[in-house]
Structure 1
Amino acid sequence: MNFDYLEAFMYVVRFKSFHKAADALYLSQPSITARIKGLERELETQLFTRQGRGVTLTAKGKEFIPFAEQMIRTYQQSKQKLQTKTDERKFTFGANIITAQYVLPHFLRYFQEMQPDLEYDVVCGGNESMMEAVSRNEIDIAFVRQQGKELDDLIIRPFLDNSILLVVHPDHHFSSTLQYTAHKIAREPLVFFECGAFNWNLVHKIFEAHNVKPTIRHRVGNMEVAKSLIVNRAGIGFLPKLAVKKELESGELRSIDVSHLMNFNQQIEGVQSVGNPLSLPIERSLLESVKLFEQQSSLISAH
């Protein structure tokens, strides 16, 4: 069976769109359509039905997914066995410091279970240095702060939600069900953590927009110190969601709704080079590892 047909099928399954699958594979939409039609001819069955601009799997299409995955996996494994290069390099992850500390240890546990034979390195650094290393093909994929821009030589995709939260000690007089004004928040002693991993200008803009000066009691450059100060009631603070996930789940900290003041939605993005695309098995393992990481967080929160 034609490997290109299988690859096109799995990309359409993932993106639920011929057009988006074509963009991801750097092909024209007619090429993707032709490959899907070729696969359907070989299988003598319809795999997708169109719904507006998107597509939906047929019942037979859903049944075919595990077989397609197995054939792709077998193809990749046989290709690796036949290519006996002595200089083949390891797979390399890159991440900014916060992502490396609070996400990768959990995420990589799932990834390693899916890719037990893959050797990999982890490189940590600032967002800009990570992106430059990806451009030079020194890193296969880097996880960095949301960029808000597109670059010709890089593929940038959302990876995990890392919105900024206002967090307080659970006994703090702020209620998680109320919406407080910027003036009210500014009167509270603030633990202000600032580093290059996130767009902290958003926090400053809250107070600038309301012409009020915040009461910054502690300025710290270490995340654990910032969390410890808030846990020990030294003040309240704005911290990234992934960094305080454990404390929110355990009840050591509580988040306060400030969405009415500013859009604090931020993403950790996966960045890879256009000239160094990930193999389909690696990409699927990455996506599945993210899903398991998020599901585990939800299960812990439920308890």
Structure 2
Amino acid sequence: MDLQYLNNFLALAHYRSFSAAADACYISQSSFSKRIMRLESDLGVTLFERSTRQVSLTEYGKIYLKYAQQIHNLSQQATDEINRRHAEDEGIVIGGIPSISEYGILDLISGFIKATHIHCQVKSAPSEDLEPMLLNQTLDFAFIKEVQHTNLFNHLPYAEDHLVAVLPISHPLAKQPKIKLQQLANEDFIFQPVNSRPYDLCMTICKQSGFTPNVIYADRIIENILNFVKKGLGISLLMKKLVPTDTDLVCRPIQPAVVADINLCYLKNESLNSYGQCFLDYFVSQNNAH
């Protein structure tokens, strides 16, 4: 049995109009009519009474409708079960900000794999890219810094970090325990990429402190940013956990303080497969342990 013909039959039984049913099936009315006629020919009976005003089911059509709906439902159930099993066989896909190592996210995922032997694919991307990926269901979970679409995601707190001023050891402000942002108004800055969330955050807080930062360089690679700072070409504002210990650099807390939250996110109103639920349970148990 051609399920397309069966679906066309169900559409016509529902709409009682050849034109409306054809539109709903995204085919021309002439092609749709030929399919219904072919189905009736194969069955050897007339399924619909045609009139100028309305299409109605014959007694044969009413019998066929009862079983056609059951066949359609069973086909859909089979497809759903296959899709669920395929998703489980593929494991889960987890997204994370580029600094997944610094925040211990890789350790968490590797611990999960060792404990459960469930396959995990990890994709790294900035937070502003992870949210659309999660919405498009190319990810099952994502570790996102400063979640924006909180109404669309379930989000569980994972970690927090503080923004610091990163200076060369020789900088006049390097010996201060804390630095007010206004003290940096005349500095040259090296930031993370333009239009990224870290870049926008730094621009916003500087402007709130009364100045527009003079950004001479922007880079996604933290090591490059730190090398610029070490050479005395400028200073940076970075999350503290992204800056490794280096005798040529100092990190100083800024005022006003800025705290960023990292959350594990997954879609609301979407049920997790068994592997996804297993990861969520593992995450919660590890978070509670700490």
TM-score (norm 2): 0.57
Quote the residue 2:130 is aligned against.
130
Residue 250 of structure 2: which of 236, 250, 254 is its match?
Answer: 254
Q: Cα deviations across residues 89-113 of structure 1 (Å, max 9, x unaligned)?
A: 2121112334378654444333333
The 2-side partners of 1:228 and 1:210 are apart by 27
**Cα displacement (A) at 1:155:** 0.7
Q: Which residues in structure 2 correspond to 1:49-64 (within 5 Å)?
A: none
Quote the residue 1:108 is aligned against.
109
**Cα displacement (A) at 1:151:** 1.9
The 2-side partners of 1:103 and 1:160 are apart by 9
**Cα displacement (A) at 1:225:** 0.8
Deviating more after overlay: 203-212 vs 137-146: 203-212
**Cα displacement (A) at 1:193:** 2.5
Cα gap change, 1:102/1:179 in structure 2, threshold over 3 Å: closer, same or farther?
closer
Unaligned runs of 5+ in 2: 1-83
- Compare CA radii of gyration and give the structure with the larger one: 2
Cα gap change, 1:90/1:102 in structure 2, threshold over 3 Å: closer, same or farther?
same
The 2-side partners of 1:268 and 1:142 are apart by 10
Quote the residue 1:266 is aligned against.
260
The 2-side partners of 1:138 and 1:215 are apart by 37
The 1-side partners of 2:164 and 2:144 are apart by 18
The 2-side partners of 1:291 and 1:174 are apart by 39
Asked if structure 1 preserves the Cα contact closer than 8 Å seen for 2:142 and 2:264, the reply is: yes
Quote the residue 1:121 is aligned against.
121
The 1-side partners of 2:216 and 2:229 are apart by 11
Asked if structure 1 preserves the Cα contact closer than 8 Å seen for 2:97 and 2:124, the reply is: yes
Unaligned runs of 5+ in 1: 1-83, 296-303
The 2-side partners of 1:204 and 1:289 are apart by 35
Q: Cα deviations across residues 103-161 of structure 1 (Å, max 9, x unaligned)?
A: 5444433333333x111111233435433333344322111221245224x21222221
Asked if structure 2 preserves the Cα contact closer than 8 Å seen for 1:176 and 1:255, the reply is: no
TM-score (norm 1): 0.55
Q: How many residues align?
A: 203
Quote the residue 1:140 is aligned against.
140
Quote the residue 1:97 is aligned against.
98
The secondary structure found in structure 1 opposite 2:237 is strand
Asked if structure 1 preserves the Cα contact closer than 8 Å seen for 2:128 and 2:196, the reply is: no
Q: Cα deviations across residues 252-271 of structure 1 (Å, max 9, x unaligned)?
A: 5322121x33x411112211
CA RMSD, aligned part only? Answer: 3.4
Cα gap change, 1:265/1:86 in structure 2, threshold over 3 Å: closer, same or farther?
closer
**Cα displacement (A) at 1:201:** 3.1
The 2-side partners of 1:208 and 1:200 are apart by 12
- Please say if 1:218 is aligned against 2:213: no
The 2-side partners of 1:185 and 1:227 are apart by 17
The 2-side partners of 1:104 and 1:219 are apart by 25
Q: Cα deviations across residues 160-214 of structure 1 (Å, max 9, x unaligned)?
A: 2133221123343324644434342122332233355534333223432343343
Q: Which residues in structure 2 correspond to 1:1-303 (within 5 Å)?
A: 85=85, 88-99=89-100, 103-115=104-116, 117-152=117-152, 154-175=153-174, 177-195=176-194, 197-244=196-243, 247-248=244-245, 251=247, 253-258=249-254, 260-261=255-256, 263-274=257-268, 275-277=270-272, 281-287=278-284
The secondary structure found in structure 2 opposite 1:99 is coil
